Amino acid sequence: MNWPWSAKNDNPRTPGDPAPIIRMQGICKVYDKGTVKVEALRGIDFEVARGEFVAVVGPSGSGKSSLLNLIGCLDTPTDGLYELSGEAVADLDRDGLAEIRNRRIGFVFQNFNLLPQLSALENVEMPLLFGGVPARRRRKRAQELLEQVGLGDRLTHRPTELSGGQMQRVAVARALAMDPDVILADEPTGNLDTSSGSDVLSLLTQLWKQGSTLVVVTHDISMAERAPRIVEIRDGVIVNDTGGLQ
Ligand SMILES: Nc1ncnc2c1ncn2[C@@H]1O[C@H](COP(=O)(O)OP(=O)(O)OP(=O)(O)O)[C@@H](O)[C@H]1O
Ligand SMILES: [Mg+2]
């Protein structure tokens, strides 16, 4: 695959900017399946400052999801340093990690990962429930978020009663519920047709313009082109970063 995007840098940063939200140094991830060891990430140095919109691109199997799962504390690195909002993630116990996932990270998955038996409103309420937000505030916040993503008239619909694009907008609302430090999305338009993919893309871009920090793994060129910074991964290493810090 050739590098299809022109290198541009609308959001220049200088090394040593105070307190990046994400700071990784020498991150390695080896999946050890007994006889087979896969070195999915081989020494990743990566920083993301507050308010950035970073697209992560690269061929299938290059390590993009592995990287995002580490950033999202869904998995732990084999080696290297990872600080999220200045806190070393390796020092946290299980409860600490669960807390970080709930409060600091909003995750949007390719297959939406909504709970099928719950309504849109209840799905968005889940992180607020885990976060100990009282019932009335929870409901109000979830309703406001669904209105914000254009689903104010679908509050009681279950996932099977929504279109793919609508399901992904519920997932985005859920990701926003706890007002996270960073929104991570792994191929958020991968299961959507062009039109609903473009709606989700506009929604994410709008959130970024309102101040959210986004890291989005994508094969979608129109998505990558919206991001001021594009990071390309091949064989578990960053080979290109238009942010200019590599
Ligand atoms: N849980 C796992 N156990 C073992 N190997 C894994 C696991 N997850 C990923 N891998 C391997 O790690 C490598 C990187 O996988 P990863 O899912 O990060 O790639 P990707 O860039 O997200 O690919 P795609 O674009 O197809 O989603 C692949 O060789 C994959 O087979
Ligand atoms: Mg992947």
Q: Is the pLDDT of residue 31 over 60?
A: yes
Residue 62 CA, closest ligand 1 atom number: 21
Q: What pLDDT does residue 244 have?
A: 52
Closest residue (by CA) to atom 19 of ligand 1?
A: 61
pLDDT tens per residue across span 194-239: 999 999 999 999 999 999 999 999 998 888 999 999 999 999 999 9
Residues paired with residue 41 on neighbouring β-strands, in sequence order: 29
Which span out of 31-35, 184-188, 224-228 was modeled with the highest average pLDDT?
184-188
CA of residue 150 to ligand 1 center, whole Å = 34
Q: What pLDDT does residue 17 have?
A: 52
Angle at 182 between CA 31 and CA 55, to 5 degrees: 70
Choosing from 27, 38, 70 the residue with most ligand 1 atoms within 8 A of its CB, the one to mutate for a pocket test is 38
CA of residue 159 to ligand 1 center, whole Å = 27
Query: Which residues lie with the beta carbon below 6 Å from any ligand 1 atom?
Result: 31, 33, 38, 40, 58, 60-66
Closest residue (by CA) to atom 30 of ligand 1?
A: 61
Q: What pLDDT does residue 5 have?
A: 43
Residue 92 and residue 10: Cα distance in Å, rounded? 35
10 by Cβ neighbours in 10 Å (0-12 / 13-18 / 19+) ranks as exposed
Closest residue (by CA) to atom 27 of ligand 1?
A: 60
The residue to which tokens 């200019």 are assigned: 244
pLDDT tens per residue across span 42-77: 999 999 999 999 999 999 999 999 999 999 999 999
> Stretch 76-83: mean pLDDT, rounded?
96
Query: pLDDT band for position 10 (50/70/90)?
Result: very low
pLDDT tens per residue across span 92-140: 999 999 999 999 999 999 999 999 999 999 999 999 999 999 999 999 9
Cβ–Cβ < 8 Å for 37, 31: yes
Contacts 24+ apart (CB under 8 A), 145-152: 145/173, 145/174, 145/176, 145/177, 146/120, 146/121, 146/170, 146/173, 148/173, 148/176, 149/173, 149/203, 150/199, 150/203, 151/120
CA of residue 168 to ligand 1 center, whole Å = 23
